[in-house]
Amino acid sequence: MRAIVSADHFNVLHYQTMVHYNVWFALKDGIEEASGLATVSRFLRGLCIGGEVSAFRLLKNTSNGARTKMPQYHAIVEFADDVAMSRAMQNQVTRGIHHGAHGEIVNIVRDFRVEIFELLAPEASEAMQYACEI
């Protein structure tokens, strides 16, 4: 959740809905973790700098293989809304899925899984942010 869009005449706040594009992935055999994650981070940072993405997080699953079915890495990519995500996806298609920085990622990852989430309770997220700052 990034911004309050408007307040109606009943004083109900309306929020801009953030879209979270979640990607779970593993690195291909032989790809060093630091190098592979630097490639992914560089690509996502470029999207942020270019204004296509609002923010991203790159996480590592620390559960051992027998305790999880998810790939080892998780990228959470935040878009301002559905329109921003659609525009970014179309821009990537135009640049080429297998070319440039995205092509570098395609060459180093495997077990690529995607799910898209929308934030439902922005008030809770804001409250948790303040709770974590105490």
- Mean pLDDT in residue range 99-116: 94
Arithmetic mean of pLDDT, 109-123: 84
Complete domains list, the chain, with CATH: 17-133 (3.30.70.100)
Average confidence score pLDDT of the chain: 82
% of the chain at pLDDT higher than 70: 76
In the predicted model, is pLDDT for residue 128 greater than 60? Answer: no
pTM here? 0.76
- With vertex at residue 14, the alpha carbon angle to CA 114 and CA 87, rounded to the nearest 5 degrees, is 40
Average pLDDT over residues 117-126: 68
Describe the chain by its helix, strand, coil percentages, rounded to 5. Answer: 40, 30, 30
Count of residues making up the chain: 134
Q: What's the confidence (pLDDT) of residue 125? A: 53
The pLDDT score that the predictor gives to residue 124 is 55
Contacts of 75 by beta carbon, 8 Å cutoff, 6+ apart: 22, 23, 25, 40, 44, 56, 57, 58, 59
Q: Tell me, what's the pLDDT at 13?
A: 47
